[in-house]
A and B are shown apart, each in its own frame.
Chain A
Amino acid sequence: MTDIARNGSSAPAPARRNRSLLEVDDRTRRRNAAEARFKLMGSIAVIIGLLALVGLLTSILLNGMSSFRQTYVSLEVYLDPAKLDKDGSGNLEKIAKVTTFGYKPLIQKAMVATVAANGVDDQGLKAKKIADMISPEAPATIRDYVLANPDKIGETVRFDLLAGGRIDGYYKGRVTMETAALDRNVSPEQLRIADALRDAGVLDTRFNWAFFTAPDASDTRPEAAGLGVAILGSAYMMLVVLVLALPLGVAASIYLEEFAPQNWFTDLIEVNISNLAAVPSIVFGILGLAVFINYAGLPQSAPIVGGLVLTLMTLPTIIIATRAALKAVPPSIREAALGVGASKMQTVFHHVLPLAMPGILTGAIIGLAQALGETAPLLLIGMVAFVREYPAAPPEGLFDPASALPVQIYNWTTRGDPAFVERASGAIIVLLVFLLIMNILAIILRRRFERRW
């Protein structure tokens, strides 16, 4: 119906019929142009998305990778009986009375001796300043060792002690000679001694296992902070969510999808499940605080409460995914089973459920992943607390205070020392790796279940 088509002829249709296929008419050209525009916009959207993702990952990796390496100083420390076990009785209670403060002189002595022994110029620094290169965490490390091995008192033991946060930062590019000159916590002289010790092999940077196992540490010793308690807490919560949400959610979905009568009441339930999935997670936190802690009297900061709250939050996701998976099973399979005389329950459990399994597992793992990354409700039930004690093994451990990965990240980003920024990024990487593992697990499980048929 273009103008060209009308040209010379009263009826447009014959004109179009006469046109050669080799020339493209205006209408087709416009359609093709619209399609090309749409494709272009689509690719632009995808590229923007990918760039954002790459930018995000690069920034996290650049900031966080360094947290997987940590600087240690290898020191020969003489466990002086005059300081640790004054009366020589070997009585553990008395040894335990010596606080970490009492261990400081031992480290100072060992550090000065090591600097001298390796022929390193002490840059005119006082012994205390040289000892400050070691993390304030070090006395606690030695004290724990002594309390575990009291018979070693009087001997000289080699310890790998954490270097101070700024010395560690120097080897990760966070601290330079210029910034050190302006910093009260570190001096260029200390950095020069560190360099010399590094050349002598006393100080080195190695893989940071403690990051995964150590508990959180206070503001002044970021170098000692680790994710141990947070990982355990998150694992415990996932355990609770898995044990509660998966059976509950799947059972509820099977009932709603296969057995429940279709009436206004089940419609109402269905609408409300969808609504629950959209409720902000912090609301679940308030609910958990009111019900589980205030009413039921469960302990604060405990993984059991976190797990319960996350279960409530995950249930709608699992129910929606499971119902979709059940709906996707062709009705012909149900008819086939009913046709050979299977009961409703046999039909569901022998035929429908195995076919829906890949979808259910995917839904469950997506739900778990969502729960693993959830922060807001945990803040309200006290999991943001500073926890240095590892929770015991389950089931008792579920009631011990613990932290959680996302909360730990939030916690570290609120602290002053730039070393915590590195730790937070490192924790984000750990969290992402866990999520990645869960997704890979979902894919593997899905493949395995599908291959059976």
Chain B
Amino acid sequence: MFDTPKREAAVTKTDIKMSARNCQVFYGDNQAIKDVDVDIDDKTVTAFIGPSGCGKSTFLRCLNRMNDTIPICRVEGTITLDGEDIYDPKVDPVQLRAKVGMVFQKPNPFPKSIYDNIAYGPRIHGLARSRAELDDIVEKSLRRGALWDEVKDRLHEPGTGLSGGQQQRLCIARAVATEPEVLLMDEPCSALDPIATAQVEELIDELKQNFSVVIVTHSMQQAARVSQKTAFFHLGNLVEYGETGQIFTNPRDPRTESYITGRIG
């Protein structure tokens, strides 16, 4: 990670992909997120860190409106993607989710073949006009997911038969297959062993060339390793947001400092 500062320099020039202003999230009467303002840069890895229950996953799920599936959940404020309000009544969440893909905490491949797992998204969005094109998309996505070499001979075996790490990379490949612009990852490595974690982290690093990646993680080392920007959440507040190097070496807020030195959490 010696080249991290160089990359940060490159990052500052990029555009803002998504931004949130005065974002509030309520579960019934409980306020889970208070006044969050965040800008997520294009072609950058942004990490959300913070203790359990601080609202970082909740906020992440606001970015592709996955919270819509929870009836008591209410989102206020504005969140924009390329300047367009994603909570505008005219926005169809289905279209939004095709642009903002998501990888979940536990690997959740469909109980179908590896091929069908990847091909599902392109199929429902009509991205392939022929079988050959679909084959290409599947291969390209699996290569991006760093899984192609391991599964190319058994594309028609069930995706659930893979190991945990392979399953998670399959899920990443599946998310990538629909050509999203932003990729949200909710603790993608928490169910994986260190080797699989390293593979996924490497993958995230490669993905950022094409996508804007937002990753929620419990592991501060992971945030330091993969991200260029870090946001620290605590009790529903966005406490501090900045360049990853600055957050970990020179935090401005005392709460951030206590968290990364292990005093709160």
Given contacts A339-B66, A340-B101, contact A350 B108 (CB under 8 A): no
Partner of B108, one of A262, A335, A343, A355: A335
Q: A330 to B112, alpha carbons, bound, how many Å?
A: 15
The answer to whether B108 and A333 have CB atoms under 8 Å apart is: yes
Which residues of chain A are near B69, meaning CB under 8 Å? 334-335, 338
Those of B102-144 within 8 Å (CB) of chain A = 102-104, 106, 108-112, 120-121, 124-125
Q: Does B43 contact A (CB under 8 A)?
A: no
Instruction: Fill in one digit per residue for A236-264: 1 if any B CB lies within 8 Å of its CB, else 0.
Output: 00000000000000000000000001100
Q: A332 to B120, alpha carbons, bound, how many Å?
A: 16
Minimum CB–CB distance from B191 to chain A (whole Å) comes to 11
Shortest Cβ distance from B108 into A: residue: A332
Which residues of chain B are near A385, meaning CB under 8 Å? none
The answer to whether A339 and B120 have CB atoms under 8 Å apart is: no
The answer to whether A341 and B108 have CB atoms under 8 Å apart is: no
Instruction: Fill in one digit per residue for B62-105: 1 if any A CB lies within 8 Å of its CB, else 0.
Output: 00101001010000000000000000000000110110011110
The answer to whether B175 and A339 have CB atoms under 8 Å apart is: yes
Q: A334 to B171, alpha carbons, bound, how many Å?
A: 14
Contacts between chains A and B (CB distance < 8 A), count:
68
Most chain B Cβ neighbours within 10 Å, of A341, A342, A350: A341
Q: Does B208 contact A (CB under 8 A)?
A: no
The answer to whether A340 and B109 have CB atoms under 8 Å apart is: no
Minimum CB–CB distance from A436 to chain B (whole Å) comes to 31
Which residues of chain B are near A340, meaning CB under 8 Å? 97-98, 101, 120-121, 124, 174-175, 177-178
Partner of B124, one of A262, A339, A342: A342
The answer to whether A336 and B104 have CB atoms under 8 Å apart is: yes
Q: Does A265 contact B (CB under 8 A)?
A: no
Q: Is the interface of A mostly helix, strand, loop or mixed?
A: helix
Instruction: Fill in one digit per residue for B152-196: 1 if any A CB lies within 8 Å of its CB, else 0.
Output: 000000101000000000010011011000000000000000000
Which A residues lie at the B interface, using CB under 8 A? 261-262, 330, 332-343, 346, 350-351, 355, 453
Which residues of chain A are near B175, meaning CB under 8 Å? 339-340
Which residues of chain A are near B112, meaning CB under 8 Å? 453
The answer to whether A346 and B110 have CB atoms under 8 Å apart is: no
Shortest Cβ distance from B161 into A: residue: A453
Shortest Cβ distance from A340 into B: residue: B121
Partner of B71, one of A261, A334, A337, A342: A261
The answer to whether A332 and B98 have CB atoms under 8 Å apart is: no
The answer to whether B106 and A341 have CB atoms under 8 Å apart is: no
Partner of B160, one of A335, A341, A453: A453
The answer to whether A341 and B124 have CB atoms under 8 Å apart is: yes
Q: A103 to B71, alpha carbons, bound, how many Å?
A: 79
